[in-house]
């Protein structure tokens, strides 16, 4: 699975305005609904159920909310750079400003974990994260992600 198959430029929200974790997830679920052709409410409920198991705020201002949904045919990513960081109950208690949401088919198992691992590796790269935080448009953020992915592979 290539990183390019996880996310497309039209799934990037470069300046999402939200004041809470729930609002971030709600806005991203609305965007995801059009991409994966599933109801917004179903996506949001799936993500919120996963959040109840433990926060997906992994630290350093980054969150990777994820969930499995019936009717989704492939693992799909969405990304949001928040206009202002929000509390996400992150492991390091720091607010989050970068959110990469992953939605996977119900039976995806190992592929879901591989996708999570790819995203986590990408967002652990300080250079990539700094670059993404400085960019304003979806195409540039997408290019930075692909460039960061290539650097991590080297």
**Residue 66 is among the residues annotated as catalytic for this protein:** yes
Model confidence, pTM = 0.94
CATH of domain 3-153: 3.40.930.10
Question: Torsion angle of alpha carbons 12, 93, 85, 60, nearest 10°?
Answer: -50
How far is residue 42 from each of residues 1, 27, 39, 117, 118, measured CA to CA in Å? Answer: 26, 13, 5, 24, 25
Please tell me which residue in 38, 66, 112, 149 is annotated as part of the active site.
66
Instruction: Give me the numbers of helices (H) and strands (E) for the chain, helices first please.
Output: 5, 6
Write the DSSP assignment of 87-113 as a string of letters.
Answer: ----TT---EEEEEEEEEETT-THHHH
Instruction: Yes or no: say if 115 and 6 are a contact pair by the CB < 8 Å rule.
Output: yes
Return the domain boundaries, the chain. Answer: 3-153
CA distance 143 to 111: 23
Let me know: does 128 contact 140? Beta carbons within 8 Å: no
Q: Is 116:82 a contact under the CB 8 Å cutoff?
A: no
The predicted-structure confidence for 43-79, as pLDDT tens digits, reads as follows 999 999 999 999 999 999 999 999 999 999 999 999 9
The per-residue pLDDT for range 8-45, each reduced to its tens digit, is 999 999 999 999 999 999 999 999 999 999 999 999 99
Each residue's pLDDT tens digit, 80-132 = 999 999 999 999 999 999 999 999 999 898 999 999 999 999 999 999 999 99
């Amino acid at each position: 699975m290539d990183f390019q198959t996880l996310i497309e430029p039209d799934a990037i929200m470069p300046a999402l305005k939200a004041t809470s974790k729930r609002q971030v997830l709600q806005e991203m679920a609305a965007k995801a609904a059009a991409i994966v052709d599933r109801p917004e409410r179903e996506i949001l409920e799936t993500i919120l159920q996963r959040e109840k198991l433990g926060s997906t705020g992994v630290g350093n201002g980054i969150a990777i909310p994820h969930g499995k949904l019936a009717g989704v045919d492939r693992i799909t990513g969405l990304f949001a750079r928040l206009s202002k960081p929000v509390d996400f109950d992150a492991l390091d208690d720091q607010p989050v400003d970068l959110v990469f949401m992953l939605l996977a088919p119900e039976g995806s198992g190992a592929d879901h974990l591989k996708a999570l691992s790819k995203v986590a590796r990408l967002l652990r790269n300080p250079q990539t994260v700094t670059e993404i935080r400085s960019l304003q448009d979806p195409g540039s953020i997408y290019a930075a992600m692909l460039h960061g992915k290539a650097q991590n592979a080297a």
